[in-house]
């Protein structure tokens, strides 16, 4: 079960087109469940998850959680997830709407 942790700064009105870009887990090796947990130090941060050609969630607001508090916590900060087939591309897009954001993300991939 791979777990990927990202800390990403996003500029004002900025977009990160895929947090998993270049990762060995950008394409699922086997059918898998992908779960996304995230927090941000500002309220105006959104995430979008696409597995293959299926949008699993879009414009999901990331919970506000102070950077000094760490996170994300598995019990509190699940944004969403989905199940993808072998070979599906995992695209996790992040958008900061009005201010500079510091985003902390945990992606858990579990073979099914």
Across-strand partners of 56? none
pLDDT in tens, 59-111: 999 998 876 678 899 999 999 999 999 999 999 999 998 887 889 999 999 99
Q: Is the pLDDT score of 12 beyond 90?
A: no
CA distances from 6 to 64, 87, 108 (A): 16, 22, 12
- DSSP class of 27: B
pLDDT cut 90: percent of the chain above it? 73
Question: What are the extents of the domains in the chain?
Answer: 3-111
Q: How far, in Å, CA of 22 to CA of 80, rounded?
A: 22
Q: Which fold has domain 3-111?
A: Jelly Rolls (2.60.120)
Alpha-carbon distance values, 46 to 28, 29, 68, 86 (Å) = 23, 27, 20, 27
The reported pTM is: 0.92
- What is the rounded (10 degree) CA torsion for 50, 56, 60, 62? -70
Residue 98 pLDDT: 83
DSSP string, 34-97: EEEEEEESSS-EEEEEEETTEEEEEEEEPPB--GGG----TTT-EEEEEEE-TTPBEEEEEEE-
């Amino acid at each position: 079960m791979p777990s990927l942790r990202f800390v990403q700064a996003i500029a004002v009105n900025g977009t990160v087109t895929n947090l998993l870009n270049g990762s060995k887990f950008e394409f699922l090796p086997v059918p898998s469940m992908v779960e996304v947990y995230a927090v941000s130090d500002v309220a105006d941060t959104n995430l979008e998850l696409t597995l293959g050609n299926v949008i699993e969630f879009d414009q999901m607001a990331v919970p506000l959680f102070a950077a000094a508090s760490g996170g994300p916590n598995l019990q509190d900060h699940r944004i969403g997830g989905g199940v993808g087939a072998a070979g599906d591309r995992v695209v996790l897009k992040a958008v900061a709407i009005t201010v500079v954001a510091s985003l902390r993300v945990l992606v858990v991939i579990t073979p099914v």
